[in-house]
Chains A and B, each alone.
Chain A
């Protein structure tokens, strides 16, 4: 009994600290578990663990369970939780911090296509300096479910026929400088 009581806090502390260390995750300790976030969330029904429980799990040290879940990937960044939270812990920012940690630790779930989409977006933004939406969409479907693209083809065609889906990416002039900035940021490592 005494042994577990000594060991457990060490695990708990490190996951909370890890979340606190990501910009936006700092205030997680102030949560009072009122559930306003879960009650306000438009997508909570789809989460493996709903927002309030996510916060509780961070503080209880359930790192692997949480980072490999689909939960935070369903956050649509509507910030309703954030403006309603009575403790100002910024739940949406905490979800983004958890996404960062899931990516960093290689635990991102395969059950949601969102992590793949985010990575496709990042690659596109880094590659041209601006996001190339058509290229990103094609890459997402090739990497996840090419058949899902068939269902969405009419939407893509509609956008294309209305001149809203250019076939070529736009590239910024300062790619060399942007690449130098981004390479340096990468070298400087995880943001604290």
Chain B
């Protein structure tokens, strides 16, 4: 059994519910004990860091301070939480004035942070600690014949990810460890527009269209991603892309934990497969 402090992130409880729900049974099946960080708060995300650095730093640091008490690595399944917590953690190490002020703020909440937490992405834990071989050994329903486009998005691999920032391979290896075929495609780590989907939908929809087009042209039957925002953009907004660009995509977009869960024989209900907007039940039927 491997132990981690677990930071779900806000979206895992709302728009990315299928992620939040599927993480738990998959972790259990892989002997990962994710101990949820007691009373965690929002990491501040990119928006807070684009409004006020000190307040954003204090907000993220409350989580780091709480995690430090556990003595465990802090693991999040959200790529944005991962980048933000990592970035604040780095600034706290490298900028003494920033560290001093953030700790002064934390003291008002009876907390202190000494910089001792390692922030990690769940996908990295799966790849590095559990390993594709370790996962493969527990597969009961090999996904033979399933063509999957691994979509890394941005913040899993940039700016400081564990994989190649331009041409990553870790998710492809995880997909292959399940018996599925990871189709090669060019845009696997290009941007989906992230939160611009709300304020600037036309820009984001254009980027999403490019991704779906490329994945489909390369023969993918579905996409798989670890990132909540990428999943929402490609899944929930797929119908908007279809209306805007006169396309007819019907590509399910699974969270990586959902796909792993299917191969491990975890029931569809526990993996929240019915909560995906573009239903994956058709392409997954042979394996359920």
Contacts and interface: CB of A to CB of B under 8 A. Distances in A.
Nearest to B88: A23
Contact of A192 (B98, B106, B200): B98
Contacts of A129: 41-42
B221 interface: no
Contacts of B198: 113, 117, 137, 140
A182 B55 contact: yes
B166 interface: yes
A77 B84 CA distance: 11
Interface of B: 10-11, 13-18, 39-42, 44-55, 57-59, 62, 80, 83, 87, 91, 95, 97-98, 101-102, 104-111, 154-155, 158-159, 165-166, 190-191, 193-196, 198-201, 203-204, 207, 232, 236-237, 239-240, 274-277
Given A129-B42, A162-B277, A183-B108, A83 B236 contact: no
Contact of A188 (B62, B105, B109, B165): B105
A90 interface: yes
A121 interface: yes
A96 B84 CA distance: 12
A79 B158 contact: yes
B54 A181 contact: no
B14 A42 contact: no
User: Most B CB atoms within 10 A — which of A46, A76, A162?
Assistant: A76
Given A96-B50, A121-B45, A173-B39, 12 more contacts: A23-B53, A43-B196, A80-B191, A99-B50, A113-B198, A125-B42, A129-B42, A133-B10, A155-B239, A159-B15, A185-B57, A185-B105
Given A100-B50, A185-B102, A114 B199 contact: yes
Given A83-B166, A113-B200, A100 B105 contact: no
Contact of A131 (B45, B83, B166): B45
B47 A191 contact: no
B66 to A, nearest CB: 9
Interface string A111-155: 011101111011001100111111001001000100010011011
B17 A185 contact: no
A134 B11 CA distance: 11
A76 to B, nearest CB: 5
Q: Give the secondary structure class of B's interface.
A: helix
A110 to B, nearest CB: 12
A131 B194 contact: no
Nearest to B207: A42
Nearest to B110: A177
Contact of B199 (A112, A164, A191): A112
A96 B46 contact: yes
A119 B52 CA distance: 10
A125 B97 contact: no
B159 A46 contact: no
B11 A133 contact: yes
Contacts of A151: 201
B109 A174 contact: yes
Nearest to B55: A185
A166 interface: yes
B15 A165 contact: yes
Contacts of A181: 58-59, 62, 105-106, 108-109, 111
Nearest to A82: B159
Contacts of A42: 190-191, 193, 207
B253 to A, nearest CB: 13
A155 B240 contact: yes
18 contacts: A43-B193, A77-B83, A79-B165, A99-B50, A100-B51, A100-B52, A119-B51, A130-B10, A132-B14, A133-B11, A144-B199, A159-B236, A166-B13, A166-B14, A177-B110, A182-B55, A182-B105, A188-B104
Interface in A70-124: 73-74, 76-80, 82-83, 90, 92-93, 96-97, 99-100, 103-104, 112-114, 116-119, 121-122
The 9 A-B pairs at the shortest CB distance, nearest first, are namely A113-B199, A191-B54, A177-B109, A79-B158, A78-B191, A99-B50, A118-B47, A121-B47, A185-B58
